Amino acid sequence: MPTGELAPYLSRKFGGVLHHTFLIPSAIVGGYGNPNTISEEVSIDDVLDHALLALVLSGNELRYRGFMWKVSFGRVTLTREFKPQSIVNAGSTSQAIMVFDVSALTRSTGRYEVKVSCESATPVRVESISVIGLSPLEGSEAEITYWGGPVVLQSGEEVVLELPNDGSGEAELTLSATMPSRNSKLVVKAGKEFSEVLEGFVATDFRRVRIPLRKGLKNVTLKLVDEEGLSRKAFINEVIFYKPVKPGPLLRLEAVKEGGTVKLAVKNVGTSPVRNALLVGISTGQLVFRESIRELRPGELRVFRVLPEANAGNPVIYRLIYSSVWGQAIEAVQVK
């Protein structure tokens, strides 16, 4: 039977897109011969209306105890006590999670330093650092639920997540886990129609999987499969459910030859403006065309003309790179 639970720390519908940063410092603080402080930088490129900072920690027999423990974000101290929301044990190994609301600190873009300090006789490993945020975007709408664990699974055991799903479409599930070996697998099942195997985890790692939704689908099951031994355990640390309700920024790229020139047409067929898109042309490994699109409103069309000397008679692949509701998106066409 699984030990621990995945507790929801955030569940809401919002007008924007998901921001997710996942770092794997796998650094040890405290204990003999280890540094007392580690730091990592988190880059936030968009203003976040709501943001959580999550630390996944491990050690030998972790428990709530009174040693010097300090976590700061930017220049703001978040805590001076070791009080994780949850600690679970698997033999002599423990895993814990600390989640902080940093919404008041992410109102501007930039690089933020996450600093962890520890002075104890027993070392603590920082397995991962996550920032989960909601970035507002005109014309976009999405649903998000963030669960924090950890949950301990043995091979053959499974944990069931109740989805905030009220219709069809597509959602993305992001999972953070600490696996006993590269050969361990997580099987993700959504109803009878969908099943996908996630593998190749290196210690603490994360994976993303797209799930087709249908009305009436209420649960997703995560099952550990470890053919090397039943005694080894895995930790499911974090899960994010993200479902865009509106298309958001969505670009289409068309290329038409007109005499000796090439006409490139870029249109925003989505519901949100696109900012800082990049259109490039590559021929025989060389960059032959480059144009930035600072902003393209929904329904707006932009046309570019490429002169014949740009490709010297060779085929050219044109790529349109921009940020969509799913992250970086690329549209590509080839002109011979």
Q: Do residues 50 and 75 share a domain? A: yes
Q: Do residues 142 and 273 share a domain? A: no
Neighbours of 84 (CB within 10 A): 22
Q: How far apart are CA 80 and CA 32, in angstroms?
A: 21
Write the DSSP symbol of residue 207: E
Q: Do residues 302 and 327 share a domain? A: yes
Query: Cα 8–9–12 angle (5° rounding)?
Result: 85
Report if pTM > 0.85: yes
Q: How far apart are CA 176 and CA 322, in angstroms?
A: 26
93 versus 272: the higher-pLDDT residue is 272
Q: 273 preceded by cis ω (within 30°)?
A: no
Q: Do residues 69 and 110 share a domain? A: yes
Q: Do residues 126 and 207 share a domain? A: yes
Query: Which value, in Å, is the radius of gyration of the alpha carbons in the chain?
Result: 23
Q: Do residues 54 and 31 share a domain? A: yes
State the CATH number of the domain containing residue 283: 2.60.40.10
Q: At 7, phi and psi to the nearest 5?
A: -100, 135
State the CATH number of the domain containing residue 81: 2.60.120.1200
Q: Which two tokens stand for residue 16?
A: 């924007």
pLDDT tens for residues 107-149? 899 999 999 999 888 899 999 999 999 999 999 999 999 999 9
Q: Which two tokens stand for residue 181?
A: 């070996």
The total number of structural domains in the chain stands at 2
pLDDT value at 99 more than 90? yes
Q: 150 preceded by cis ω (within 30°)?
A: yes
| Last residue within a domain, chosen from 219, 244, 269 | 244
pLDDT of residue 125: 95
| Last residue within a domain, chosen from 181, 214, 244 | 244
Q: How far apart are CA 51 and CA 12, in angstroms?
A: 13
Cβ within 8 Å of residue 289, ≥6 positions away: 279, 280, 281, 306, 310, 316, 318
Q: Do residues 21 and 64 share a domain? A: yes
Q: Which two tokens stand for residue 136?
A: 């507002």
Q: Which domain holds residue 135?
A: 3-244
Q: Do residues 111 and 220 share a domain? A: yes
Q: List Cα–Cα distances, 249 to 3, 57, 145, 231, in angstroms.
A: 41, 37, 22, 47
Q: Do residues 227 and 275 share a domain? A: no
The mean pLDDT value for 193-210 works out to: 91
| Last residue within a domain, chosen from 210, 244, 278 | 244
Q: Which two tokens stand for residue 241?
A: 């459910």
pLDDT of residue 167: 72
Contact present, 256 and 263 (Cβ < 8 Å): yes
pLDDT tens for residues 229-269? 666 789 999 999 999 999 999 999 999 988 778 999 999 99
Q: Do residues 109 and 228 share a domain? A: yes
pLDDT tens for residues 29-43? 998 999 999 999 999
Q: Do residues 79 and 126 share a domain? A: yes
Q: Do residues 35 and 141 share a domain? A: yes
Q: How far apart are CA 123 and CA 69, in angstroms?
A: 12
Q: How far apart are CA 79 and CA 82, in angstroms?
A: 8
